[in-house]
Structure 1
Amino acid sequence: MSDQMSNGAEQQQASSLPMHVLAQYVKDLSFENPNAPQSLLPNQPQPQVNIGVDVQGQKVGEDIYELTLNLRCEARQGEAVAFLVELAYAALFQFPGLPEEHHRPVLMIEGARMIFPFARAIVSSATREGGFPPLMINPIDFAELYHRQSAEQAEQPQQPPF
């Protein structure tokens, strides 16, 4: 019973975040399979996958922000590229009632966390349709990524956050 009550309280707290998702969309998607059909022949070595993540936010209207999650996944079999997936997945967010100084961290952390599963599914589907096993990207700590990017930006000349 107490577990149900605490779960309900956690759900209420999470849903009380003043954040609306207005739209989600693929901005750009590319899948390359440059060595097919050789890369798909039986007994090929397991590809070594390198995944790059970049999160960008910008103000696009009165209290409306676009967040773009850029994923680049390159798989190599030895020296040869097995596949390359590049995805720019975006969403529009609005923050009614949230003080403006909190917009950027909420967008870059919570917004990215919200759209990541959709981007992950697109990458997984693209690799599967390309003839490879579905690539399942591990969860990403967007808070740590945000803090790291903020520290790097603090070392550079000051620019407006949006």
Structure 2
Amino acid sequence: MADQDFNMQPLPNGADTAPAVGLISQYIKDLSFENPNAPAIYQNQNAPTVDVQFNIGGAQVGDEVHEVVLKIEVRAENEGQVAFIVDLSYAGLFGFRNVPADQIQPYLLGEGPRLIFPFARRVLADAVRDGGFPPLLLEPIDFNTLYLQSQESQGQQGVAGQA
């Protein structure tokens, strides 16, 4: 049905006025794996300290089409030496039809990343494994709650700035 929703042909029985959102495509936008201290890093048997950072962006790229980019940066260090660095930008194209404008951003920054995260997580785990390390399996993330928290903190900052 998702294919039918976004071929821009009228739907039967007047259903073309109902709000609809669909994932059109998902893809690796950018992927970088660095292993700057190989092969010496493999001689250290201690587990590395891993720092993971996320960034989410959304932008309109066409009529009723938006792109969500989930950027994941990972830096692993072992006793002061960099074990590996991974930068992944994983994106999804989402089609919107009859969705109110004020509902698009919450979807792009909350629900969109939730849908593409499992696939980005697999790409990241595979890249780390292919780099000679145990796969890095990230825990699931509640992007909707993170979005609501960021909106709440921005609202509080706006009120504080007006006081």
Note the C-alpha offset of 1:60: 1.2
Task: For residue 44 of structure 1, give the secondary structure of its aligned residue in structure 2.
Answer: coil
Report the residue type matching 1:64 in the other structure. Answer: V
CA RMSD of aligned residues (A): 2.0
Report the residue type matching 1:126 in the other structure. Answer: A
Q: What does residue 88 of structure 1 align with?
A: 89
Structure of greater Rg? 2
Equivalent residue runs for 1:21-36 within 5 Å? 21-36=23-38
Note the C-alpha offset of 1:148: 3.3
Q: Unaligned regions of 5+ residues in structure 2, if any?
A: 1-17, 159-163
Note the C-alpha offset of 1:44: 2.0
Q: TM-score, normalised by structure 1?
A: 0.80
Q: Unaligned regions of 5+ residues in structure 1, if any?
A: 1-15, 158-162
1:60-119 Cα deviation digits (max 9, x unpaired): 111111100000011110111100000000111012232221111112111100000110
Q: What does residue 39 of structure 2 align with?
A: 37
Q: What does residue 137 of structure 1 align with?
A: 138
Report if the CA contact (8 A) 2:70-2:113 is conserved: yes
Distance in structure 2 (CA, Å) of the matches to 1:64 and 1:139: 26
Note the C-alpha offset of 1:17: 7.9
Report the residue type matching 1:60 in the other structure. Answer: V
Distance in structure 1 (CA, Å) of the matches to 2:79 and 2:154: 36
Q: What does residue 47 of structure 2 align with?
A: 46
Distance in structure 1 (CA, Å) of the matches to 2:60 and 2:151: 17
Q: TM-score, normalised by structure 2?
A: 0.79
Report if the CA contact (8 A) 2:19-2:98 is conserved: no
- Identity among equivalent positions (%) equals 43
Distance in structure 2 (CA, Å) of the matches to 1:144 and 1:28: 26
Note the C-alpha offset of 1:144: 2.4
1:28-57 Cα deviation digits (max 9, x unpaired): 10000011101112x521001110011100
Report if the CA contact (8 A) 2:19-2:97 is conserved: no
